[in-house]
Structure 1
Amino acid sequence: MTTSNVPTAHTTQVSNPRLRLLNTLRKKEPALMTFIAIPSVRHAQIVALTGLDGVIIDCEHGHIGDDSMHNSVAAISSLGVSPIIRVRGTSPDILKRALDTGAHGLMIPMINTAEEAAAVVTYSKFPPLGLRGQGSAFPAIGHGLTTPEYMKTANETLLTIVQIESKQGVENVDAIAAVPGVDYLFIGPNDLAQSLLGYTPARGDEPVFVEAIEKIVAAARKHGKWAGRLVNDGPLAQEALKKFDSVAITGDTKAISNWYTAQIACVRP
């Protein structure tokens, strides 16, 4: 079996209404996400009920361990929203542990080479495409399926989202986007700015930064992959969606802080 004739998240004919983020992307509708860093089932439920298509559970920078990761996935998926886990690294045990929660996809930070991207795909796919092991009932539950149904469809319905957020990643982005099994390129603008410019946050109009963004989007388009980025608010999301398939609108900690700061400023100008 060659990877060229294997269905992917882009070409799958599997129809599962539970997979909200994938379904929105495939319908070419704006797909909206946000990050959560706070470990709480109730918090995850509140965020999931705001109208988002996906909630990214941040196990890289957030205060979220294994227990909270499992609970958040269950809470979000039960409400018809796609839980995506941003893992803290690329080792096989980290990828397997995240997938075994029932997440609808993984976001992998700091992918800098095609080899790194290919390794992520290998350990995220069941045989014969990869080396992912099976032994948990939880993944199927998160997809509303039996375990046999899940195992038959997971390779082509799970979203593999790689983050391009370094100078090296931009240099290798065409090769990264070409890797079979990579579905989506996501830009981390703050780390990308730090790598390219030496400071954050970027203003967003620096020529080297703009050129890098364009190169990432062009690579995604060339290889038929989705592209997205982080933005700070709704108006910026509207503008970004003219270019990108999907955006993540800030994160919970910043949203809470900004809201309270703005309201208190009304009282104490």
Structure 2
Amino acid sequence: MERLAEVLTAIEFGGNPLKQPFKQALKEKDEVVLLTTTLDVTKSQLEVALGRGDYDAVYFDGQHQPISDHKIVEFCAITEELRIEAQMRLPHTRHTYLVGRFCDFGLSSIMVPEVLTEETVHEALEYFYYGTMGRRSWGGIQRAGMAWAFDNRPSRLEYAEWWNNYAVLAIQIESVEAVANARRLADRPGIDYVAFGPNDLSFSLERHSNFPLTTTEECFRNVAEQLDPIGIKRCLAIAIPPEDRDKWREHGISVFWEAARY
């Protein structure tokens, strides 16, 4: 662990100092910001966008836009070179068993959409983490950190320990069922934060007219009451300019998306 701490705080890669790891930022910073971009962004475009602010990770959507394995590998090669962590939203809730495979392409963070059940959370944890925390399969030469986090090629156990202390797993709450059970879903080792999908949550509220909470804002506050005591941050999974964030801070949001400007 001492070696891990040294790497995470002191290493340089390509002349760029390593930022505070995303997982550490979620624990220690008051607010965290992800830059949202597209999978086909170029290195020069991403450099311009990252230069416009202080970002803790970059995000692209694998649920509502076309993706390919090769494009994910290319995207992650760019983010590794620029020393910024990469998150993808899974194509579908039922793809949680594939989280390890996607991470083998270079991602260090996954968001699981439309989480409803504890079984989904358990499966995501099982296939995201290694060893005692999960059952992710060993392999993948493009994995995050392989090019910079170790003096020599790491052993299986060395890399597993590093990954389990570095990678970020998020679940997305987009239904009244998930709101009602937010603590039960999120209160377990390995879940780093929770994200709200306000549009699908609105659909769910409209379908459940007898649910005691009637607006997305009421849902945000209710989940804050459940998760604040255990220190799990919440994200609003839509891009919000810095000048418009105060309203959402009042509802307990502290992880923000910001749209890339090239």
Q: Equivalences for 1:2-17 in 2 at 5 Å?
A: 14=5, 16-17=8-9
Query: What residue in structure 2 maps to residue 53 of structure 1?
Result: 56
* Paired residue secondary structure (1:132): coil
Structure 1 counterpart of 2:216, one-letter code: F
Question: Displacement, 1:35?
Answer: 2.4
Structure 1 counterpart of 2:241, one-letter code: D
Taking a change above 3 Å as real, the CA distance of residues 217 and 142 of structure 1, as seen in their structure-2 partners, is: farther
* The one of 74, 78, 98 aligned to 2:81: 78
Structure 1 counterpart of 2:217, one-letter code: V
Per-residue CA deviation, residues 226-264 of structure 1 (Å, 9 max, x unaligned), is 211134322223443453231112x45xx78xxxxxxxx
Structure 1 counterpart of 2:245, one-letter code: A
* Paired residue secondary structure (2:66): coil
Matched, 1:232 2:240: yes
Query: What residue in structure 1 maps to residue 29 of structure 2?
Result: 28
Question: Displacement, 1:142?
Answer: 6.1
Within 2, Cα distance between the matches of 1:176 and 1:189? 18
Q: Equivalences for 1:13-162 in 2 at 5 Å?
A: 14=5, 16-17=8-9, 18=18, 20-42=21-43, 43-51=45-53, 52-89=55-92, 90-91=94-95, 94-141=98-145, 144-146=148-150, 147-148=154-155, 149-162=158-171
Structure 1 counterpart of 2:233, one-letter code: W
* Paired residue secondary structure (2:111): strand
Question: Displacement, 1:92?
Answer: 5.2
User: Number of residue pairs matched?
Assistant: 235
* Paired residue secondary structure (2:190): coil
RMSD: 2.6
Query: What residue in structure 1 maps to residue 225 of structure 2?
Result: 218
Percent identity between matched residues is 20
Structure 2 length as normaliser, TM-score?
A: 0.78
* Paired residue secondary structure (1:162): strand
Within 2, Cα distance between the matches of 1:122 and 1:190? 29
* Paired residue secondary structure (1:128): helix
Query: What residue in structure 2 maps to residue 177 of structure 1?
Result: 186
Within 2, Cα distance between the matches of 1:165 and 1:82? 25
Question: Displacement, 1:83?
Answer: 0.9
- The unaligned stretches of length 5 or more in structure 1 are 1-6, 8-12, 199-205, 257-269
Taking a change above 3 Å as real, the CA distance of residues 142 and 246 of structure 1, as seen in their structure-2 partners, is: farther
Per-residue CA deviation, residues 180-206 of structure 1 (Å, 9 max, x unaligned), is 3211011111111122136xxxxxxx9
Taking a change above 3 Å as real, the CA distance of residues 178 and 24 of structure 1, as seen in their structure-2 partners, is: closer
* Paired residue secondary structure (1:141): coil
- The unaligned stretches of length 5 or more in structure 2 are 10-17, 208-212
Within 2, Cα distance between the matches of 1:86 and 1:44? 19
Per-residue CA deviation, residues 86-133 of structure 1 (Å, 9 max, x unaligned), is 111343552122211232211111111222111110111112221101
* Paired residue secondary structure (2:143): helix
